Amino acid sequence: MADLNLDFCKRVVIDTAKMPWVNSPMPGVRRKPLARAAAEGGHITSVVQYSPGSYFSGHYHPQGEEIFVLEGTFSDENGDYEKGSYLRNPPGSYHQPFSKNGCTILVKLNQFDPQDKKSVVINSNTTEWQQGSGGLQVMPLHDFAGQHTALVKWPAGEIFHLHEHVGGEEVFVLSGHFKDEYGSYPKHSWIRSPHLSTHRPFVDQETIILVKVGHLELTHHSDSKTQGNNCLTKGK
């Protein structure tokens, strides 16, 4: 398997709802790879679906694991995590995941700062929103060394100002329909914008996105150690 979407200087847009599922090595577990290193244990971002009663073998996370539960209930030996749950398993952690009734999750593997050792479990269904810019509401999920992950709720008709993504931005549309001057992104779309890119986002209907910023400037893999820092062309 070749590297997939690992040029972090390029903007990537994927409507994951239109992607076919790919079987994993474990029965009942399927995936939609969004970005993936060819080397096993490398950078991975994917949507993963567990059929009822399916599980994945116990494994370690050498460079961490980040999960958002999109549908159903995801579980491991530490607990059950319903739709809307956000998890961070730090570098060196171990678990054996499964789902009794089935679930779909967004997973990011091997993308942690080595010093980011904090375990995080947040149920967004029971966490209060905070007031953001304009009419936006924000739910911070994690911050570390200039990297920020949050949920953002957009009220119908909201228009945000033109802004620059220092360190890049990743957006996953959880509900509604996200838009900017470059396109329109329905539910479960994934948009990755490089370091120093710009856009002016807006929505027509209430929309909730999972957004991560500030993490792509220094992101690299074995074939391109300074790739993120070289994304100097602004815009799309």
74 touches 97 (CB < 8 A): yes
Residues 59 and 96 in one domain: yes
User: Are 110 and 163 part of one and the same domain?
Assistant: no
Structural domain total, the chain: 2
pLDDT of residue 231: 64
pLDDT at position 139 over 60: yes
Q: Are residues 134 and 112 in the same domain?
A: no
Amino acid at 2: A
- pLDDT value at position 130? 98
User: What's 35's domain CATH number?
Assistant: 2.60.120.10
Q: Is there a domain that residue 172 lies in? A: yes
pTM summary value: 0.92
Considering the domain boundaries, does residue 235 fall inside one? no
- Shared domain for 99 and 133, answered yes or no, is no
Q: Give residue-wise pLDDT tens across range 208-229.
A: 999 999 998 654 433 333 344 4
pLDDT at residue 41 greater than cutoff 80: no
**18 and 115 belong to one structural domain:** yes
- The share of the chain scoring above pLDDT 70, in percent, equals 91
Give yes or no: residues 65 and 133 share one domain: no
* 62 is a domain residue: yes
Q: Bridge partners of 43?
A: none
Domain extent for 150? 129-213
Length of the chain in terms of residues written: 236
Q: pLDDT digit string (tens) for 59-104?
A: 999 899 999 999 999 999 999 999 999 999 999 999 999 999 999 9
Q: Band the pLDDT of 183: cuts 50, 70, 90.
A: very high
pLDDT given at position 187: 98
Mean per-residue pLDDT, 148-161: 97
Question: Do the Cβ atoms of 81 and 72 come closer than 8 Å?
Answer: no
